[in-house]
Amino acid sequence: MKKIIWITGAGSGIGEALARAYNNTSHTIILSGRNRTQLESVSKNIINSYILPLDITQEEQINQAVSTIQSTFGRVDILINNAGISQRATVTETTNEVGRALMEVNFFGSVHLTKAVLPMMVDANQGSIVAMSSAAGKFGFPLRSYYSASKHALHGFYESLSLELKDTPLHVMIVCPGRIKTDISKNALTGSGKSHNQMDQGQLNGIPVEKCASKIVKGLSKKKIELYIGGNEILLVYIKRYFPFLFRQIAKRVNPK
């Protein structure tokens, strides 16, 4: 069945890889992000694509985008809330404005877009929603205070939504990537709001972004509720769950970069 797939943060990284992973004649892929030039570059390699620039921190833009999609396609089969930004600064270094900006992008942007798309899915009685969290959504980590908090918040919201939809065909999946080889560390915000502009060693040695995208596609097809993707760092999720004291000892020794 031909699907309408909407991906935010589609100009690079996991979003771009997901567009490529779904790239065939059976799907129309809506590419959203703030950088039109990046979206156009991705679009050149996608068979059926539709470019829809969007700043998810702006509710009016979200409403306009959803209205455009409803009038153009009539539905959204898969919504992948991939837009996000990371952090590389201590709590004391991070201004309140930067903290709010991280929450606006990572939490409220995802939530507001989901709420705007949800009525279409309810009316169609079908659809899948993906929330891109992080391994840092399961535990705190140095230099990631607001980033981790925003991802923790996603779990509370989307777990609640999933339970509210339990008697419907709608599906919600939370994805928790660990270290994936993308530019997320380069684009991360410092305490003053500037770009970190450095590739962390952990990111450089992370799993290929194509492998991450493939696992997300497979997880969706199997209707997974929560999906962990990464290397040995994913073990920290389970150590934190079952051995919190041990987790703290390990985390204190891990290089946050």
DSSP the chain: --EEEEESSTTSHHHHHHHHHT-STTEEEEE--S-HHHHHHHHTT-SSEEE----TT-HHHHHHHHHHHHHHTS--SEEEE-----B-S-TTTS-HHHHHHHHIIIIIIHHHHHHHHHHHHHHHT--EEEEE--GGGTS--TT-HHHHHHHHHHHHHHHHHHHHTTTSS-EEEEEEE-SBSSSHHHH-B-TTS-B-----HHHHTSBPHHHHHHHHHHHHHTT-SEEEESSGGGHHHHHHHH-HHHHHHHHTTS---
Q: Which of 22, 50, 146, 147 is catalytic?
A: 147
- Check if 147 is active-site: yes
β-strands 27-31, 49-51: how paired? parallel
Q: How far apart are CA 56 and CA 46, in angstroms?
A: 23
β-strands 226-229, 128-132: how paired? unpaired
Which residues does the annotation mark as catalytic?
147
